[in-house]
Structures are given as structure tokens and as C-alpha cells.
Amino acid sequence: MSVLETYDLSIRFGGVQANRDVSVTVGEWEIVGVIGPNGAGKTTLFNMVTGFYTPDTGRIIYRGRDITGMPVHERAALGLGRTFQNVGLIKGATVRENLITAQYLQADYSVVSGMLGGARSLRTERMLRTKADLLAESLDLGDLLDTQVAGLPYGTLKRVEIATVLATDPDVLLLDEPSSGMGPEEAHRLGDTLLDLRQRFGLSIVMIEHHVPLVVRVCDYVYCLDFGEVLTHGLPNDVRNHPQVVAAYLGEDPDPAVVELESQLESLVEGG
Amino acid sequence: MGAPVTVTSPDAAGPVQEVAEEETPAVTRPGRFRPSPLGWVPRLVVWAVIAWVVLIVPLGHSAIDLQDFTRAVCYAIVALSLNVLLGYVGQISLGHAAFVGIGAFMSAYMVTTQGQSFWIGVLAAGAIGGAQALVLGGVSLRIRGLYFALVTLSYGLVAEENIFQIESFTGGGAGQQAPKPQWFESEWRYYYLCLGFLAIVLLLDWRLMRSKGGRALLALRENPRVASTFGINVRIATLFAFVVSGVIAGLAGALIAHNDLGVSATTWNFNLSLVFVIMTVVGGLRSRYGLVIGGAFFALMPYFLEKIPGLDNALAKIPAPFDLTPELAPLVVGPLLLLLNLIQFPGGIGQQLRPIARWLGGHRFDLHDRGLKEVQITDVRA
């Protein structure tokens, strides 16, 4: 049974068709790769799935439920967790604080009772802290718990970010370029981590990734996007050797206007 | 900060080393530092001095001086209120005098015109403070940064010119009477009452920041997108923070009103809003003790200047188009301190005192522990 499906998602920013009729299916416990040249609309797809953008047309189905118009935080509550291309962490806080903040939905007390220091809130807080520590230990981040996030190397940030998303207790993990900023060695280890996490947490994973060896090793299925459309999809090796995929990667550059607009939109939403 | 990542425990040198099931040698992180019993002595002395200054010293002063001290306590509450917006939500309010003023008028109105008790007045002040903040919070969901600052600025001006001129509510130009509550008629009792309220606000603020609500606010201030992927409802969290800030501001207003025994519209002007913002930033965003000190410092500035002998005469000799009075001091000293803040000390007084505060809390004294890194400078730009 598929966990996450999108049907014919399309979105247009001004004159640019960022996504056109993108249909993707993610099965239970599957790791799905999304590849494609810069500006192909991969992150746009993520933004629609997680709720930052509303598609012009198309539907998003999560475990049989239509979540197309649902706000971001409600989707998070359903179990959609995501990371960001440029690291989605609270930079001013320590690793532990990030991990505790991310457990917002598991903190089973009202904000007001937390403010009044109710017994239940105090108990829950201790539990959250323990969970954060355990999670960090299990991801080899134990030594960094009290370190402020700002200032950590990029590759480490990516790992901290994955730990943070896991702290939100997701069913489906959407990872935006998890291996960026990592060397080949580190990227290889990331592959192991992802496979391990899938098993331990029972996750389905969708990842945007440029590092082809990682994709081929880890992914069960791959979608290749180009100019906002699904160019081809299939098993990793088939997609890698698909002539159109090769052409898309090595051929002419994508329309600079698309790249420009996407980055502008990104920064608009970011800086808003 | 620069602590070694791992150290073997001192016991490891013992004769028998018990190795757990695993082969790897037991590595422990440095345990939390706890001062020795002797180490507590100087700490307790400093605590005692602080308690003496806050609780005992004011008793030796005249009623008029005590009124100033009480105002300092109220300003500290205002700083804590504004900190919720500036420090936690990341929105600047240039109309905070109106937030506080409306609470002052509400309490005075309830007590004098409606004949209710002081406690009802305080409750009403908090309620109306929260309600008006909720409305502005709704605005802040659409507008951020300087534009929102402009909205609050105009709200403050409208409040001063219009809301505070409604005769039946504020008593018009003559203002509204605000007697001190029963049992707290004397200045020193009222001073302790305000201290009690300050303690409650501090406690609430502390618990808020140690629970999920406060963490949600810090997360969304830095990155609303990330916060929403944590499942935080950004709108509700923002509105909640505004209400908290408004309730505290209303409370502070009520306390100020009854301290002054009356309220008049001219008090709650733009200058005061500016002083509120400056004292909050100079005190140190997100630093409770910094905020209390900042608020008290700015409230007491005229008081201390008046104590300087001959200052009045010296000021009178300076040719100026208007009268120079100690009341203007916060508006002169404040911006200077603010500049210093922007250039050198983004964390304000709180940042400077952090090593001492940590030491008082039973940690090691570390002069370089300022608890701030470059990212946090960004919010002073507000």
C-alpha cells in the first residue's frame, strides 16, 4: 500500500511552470529518490507535499487521505517530516534544544499549563529531554548535545537536522539533499544511516539527491524530474542509464529563468 | 563552551576498573559542576546583599522615594512584557505605552468609577491588555518588521490622542483617580505587593521558556518554516505570545496607576514607548535579570540624577530651547546605550552580567561565558 501519492501536481509561478503533472508514489518502507538537474522543480515538489505551496491543480494523498489544502503543521502532525536544502535548524539553540523543540507534538500538555508549571508538564519535559539525549546518542551526536548549532560544520548540520526531524516522530521523511556538504566517505555513511533508520523507525523516505552512488545504493525507486515534469521513473540503475536522463544532466543548461525565479521565491518565503 | 568533549572519569584510575558488557572503555562526559560547601559561602553572601538591597534598603527611604522604587519594579514588569514581543516573537512594538496605559486607565476606571476592588481592577487591566494585544497580534500575522513597528506606533498615537481622551473612561484632561488598595495603602506595603507581582511574572516567564510554548516561540522567531514542520501552529503561537505580553503590560499599567494614585493621558506618550523599547533592548532580550535591571535602571535614572547636588543649577545654565530636566535623561542616555548595544554588546546588560549570574546559580565563574554567538545579534536590528 502506498503511503504518499501525488496526482498530477502542477504549480505555476508567474510565467514559469515549476511543476507540471507530477505524479509520484511512495510505498510503505520504500526509499524513493528524486533526481534532476538544478531548477527541475524538485524542491517545489517537496514544498507542495509539505504544504508550503498550494498546487494549482492536482491532489496529494497521504495514507488514503487528501491533504492537498492542509496547513504545514497539521501535515507534520500526521507524520510528514522534512529537512531543508539550506538546513532547517534553530541556529541560536543547542543541539539538545533543537531536538526538544522538535518534539513539540509529543509534548502532551497545554501551553498554558506549561507556563504555570503543572506537574504533568514538568514530567513530560523530563521525558522529552531523555528522548532527545537517547536520539542524539543513537545518531552519534551525543558529544554535541550542548553545542550551539550555529558554527557546526555543514555536514554535521545535515546529520543534526535528520536527528531533529526524527524527533518529530515522522512516518514519511522528506530529505532535501541530505548529502550536500559531505565528502564521499561521509555520504557513504549517510547511506548506511538511512537504511538503518528505515528499519529502526519503520520509515518511508523520499530524498532529493545529487550524489548518484548514494541514490543507486539506497533508493528502491527513482524519479527524474526535468523542467518541472517527470522525465522518467524506475529502478535506480535503469533511470541512471536512461538516455534522456543522461541528456538532461549533461545536455543544455536548464532555463536560467526557472532557476532564478525559484531561488527568488525561496528567499522571499525564507526572509518573509 | 570550549570544554573537552570527553574525559575519562577520575574514578577510572582506581585499582579495579569495572568494564561494562561492552568492550569499549567507559567514556563519561564531564559531570555538572557543583560548588563545594565552601564555594557556596561567597555566593550566598552576594545573594544576601541583593536581597538586602531589594527588600530592606528601600524601607529606610521616604514615601516619595519609595514611589520611585515601586515604579522601577513596575518598569521591570513592562520590560518583561515587551521582551515577549521583542525577544521571543521578534516583533517590535513602538506603542507599548498604550499597552501599559490602557491597563492603567482600566484599573483606575474600575476602582474609581465602578467602585470595584483593586483586585478586580488588576484583572480587568490584564484582560483589556490581552484583548488589545490580540488584535495587534492579528495584524502582526500579516505585517512584519518595520511595517509592523509603524502600525504599533500609530496605535500608540491613536490611543494617546483618542482612546485616552474618552471622558467617561479616562476622566479626560483631569485624569482618573487610582487609590491604593486596602492593606497596601502605605508606600512600603505597596512596594512589596509590586515585588510580588514581579516575582509571579518572572516565574511565569521562566516556566514559559522552559516549556513547549516558549520553545515554539523561539523556533518561529528564527525560522517560521522550520517551526511549522515541527508541528507548531505559527499563527496560534504568535497570538498567544501577544496575549501574554498584553496581559503583563496591562498588569504593569494597573500597578503604575495605583502607585501614582492617578492616571492622566499625557503620561502615555510616544517618548515613554521609546524608553520602554530602549530599556528592554539595553537590559538584554531574553535575559530575565537583564530585563529587570534594565527596567529598574531607566525608571530610577531621574531619581538618581536628582540626587546629584547642583545638577539642577548646572542644567539651568545650559542654554536650550526647552527646559532640561532629569526626566529627559532616559531619552538622552538611552539611545547612547542603545548604540553601544548595537555595536558592541547585542545582549545588553544581561549579556554582561551572565558570568556573574551563572556563578550565583552555582556554576563555575567563566568570564567569557556570554551565552551569545553571532546569530543572535541579528534581532537587535528589528
Predicted pLDDT at A61? 96
Has residue B25 been placed in a domain? no
Quote the Cα angle for A169-A170-A176, to 5°: 125
Predicted pLDDT at A31? 96
Rounded Cα–Cα distance for residues B262 and B270 (Å)? 20
For the segment B238-249, what is each residue's pLDDT rounded down to a tens digit? Answer: 999 999 999 999
Q: What is the mean pLDDT of chain A?
A: 90
Query: Please, which residues have CB within 8 angstroms of residue B298's CB and are 6 or more apart in sequence?
Result: B75, B275, B278, B279, B282, B330, B334
For the segment B277-330, what is each residue's pLDDT rounded down to a tens digit? Answer: 999 999 998 999 999 999 999 999 888 888 877 777 777 777 777 777 777 888
Predicted pLDDT at A171? 94
Question: Reduced to 3 states, what is the DSSP secondary structure of residue A27?
Answer: strand
> What is the percentage of chain A residues whose pLDDT exceeds 90?
66
Report residue B232 as a C-alpha cell: 507548531
Cβ-Cβ pairs closer than 8 A, A with B, add up to 108
Where are the domain boundaries for CATH 3.40.50.300 in chain A?
2-88+169-271
Query: Are A128 and A178 within 8 A, CB to CB?
Result: no
Across A134-162, average pLDDT: 90
Query: Total domain count for chain B?
Result: 1
Residue numbers of B between 244 and 263 with CB closer than 8 Å to A: 244
The residue written with cell numbers 496605535 in the block is B155
> Residue A115 and residue B231: Cβ atoms within 8 Å?
no
User: If residue A222 lies in a helix (H) or strand (E), which one and from where to where?
Assistant: strand A221-226
Is pLDDT of B270 > 60?
yes
Has residue B233 been placed in a domain? yes
Which residue of chain A is at minimal alpha-carbon distance from B217?
A101
Is pLDDT of B28 > 60?
no
> Residue B212 and residue A88: Cβ atoms within 8 Å?
no
Give me the half-sphere count of Cα atoms (radius 13 Å) on the Cβ side of residue A95: 27
Q: List the one residue out of A64, A154, A142, A55 whose CA is nearest residue A99.
A: A142
More confident residue, B305 or B235: B235
Query: Please, which residues have CB within 8 angstroms of residue B136's CB and are 6 or more apart in sequence?
Result: B93, B95, B151, B152, B155, B242, B246
Across B37-52, average pLDDT: 91
Query: Which chain A residues are within 8 Å of B6, Cβ to Cβ?
Result: 143
Q: Domain A2-88+169-271 adopts which CATH fold?
A: Rossmann fold (3.40.50)
For the segment A184-205, what is each residue's pLDDT rounded down to a tens digit? Answer: 888 999 999 999 999 999 999 9
Has residue B1 been placed in a domain? no
The residue written with cell numbers 534522456 in the block is A244
Query: Which chain B residues are within 8 Å of A121, Cβ to Cβ?
Result: 211
DSSP letters spanning B107-121: HHIIIIIS---HHHH
Report residue B70 as a C-alpha cell: 515601586
Quote ipTM for the complex: 0.87
Across B33-46, average pLDDT: 86
Is pLDDT of B372 > 60?
no
Is pLDDT of A183 > 90?
no
CATH number at residue B112: 1.10.3470
Predicted pLDDT at B9? 41
- Full residue range of the structural domain in which residue B243 is found: 36-53+62-381
Quote the Cα angle for A101-A107-A109, to 5°: 130
Give me the half-sphere count of Cα atoms (radius 13 Å) on the Cβ side of residue B202: 16
Is pLDDT of B382 > 80?
no
- A85 DSSP 8-state letter: T
Query: Are B70 and B64 within 8 A, CB to CB?
Result: no
Of the ranges A219-223, B47-51, B150-154, B361-365, which one carries the lowest mean pLDDT score?
B361-365
pLDDT bin (cut points 50, 70, 90) of residue B17 is very low
For the segment B117-143, what is each residue's pLDDT rounded down to a tens digit? Answer: 999 999 999 999 999 999 999 998 888
Predicted pLDDT at B368? 73
More confident residue, B376 or B329: B329
Q: List the one residue out of B106, B158, B98 whose CA is nearest residue B133.
A: B98
Query: Are A198 and A3 within 8 A, CB to CB?
Result: no
pLDDT bin (cut points 50, 70, 90) of residue B191 is very high
* End-to-end CA, chain B: 28
Q: In 10 A of CB B233, how many CB atoms?
A: 20
Query: Which chain A residues are within 8 Å of B204, Cβ to Cβ?
Result: 115-116
Predicted pLDDT at A251? 63
The residue written with cell numbers 515613554 in the block is B272
* End-to-end CA, chain A: 38
Predicted pLDDT at B18? 41
Across B13-23, average pLDDT: 41
Quote the Cα angle for A198-A6-A32, to 5°: 30
Report residue A164 as a C-alpha cell: 531533529
> Residue A104 and residue B375: Cβ atoms within 8 Å?
no
Predicted pLDDT at B12? 39
Q: List the one residue out of B366, B212, B180, B82 whose CA is nearest residue A125.
A: B212
Q: List the one residue out of A144, A141, A109 whose CA is nearest residue A128.
A: A109
Is pLDDT of B344 > 90?
no
> What is the percentage of chain A residues whose pLDDT exceeds 70?
96
**Of B6, B218, B373, which has the smallest distance from its Cβ to A150's Cβ?**
B373
Has residue B24 been placed in a domain? no
Of the ranges A150-154, B10-14, B170-174, B291-295, which one carries the lowest mean pLDDT score?
B10-14
> Residue A115 and residue B213: Cβ atoms within 8 Å?
yes
> Residue A111 and residue B29: Cβ atoms within 8 Å?
no
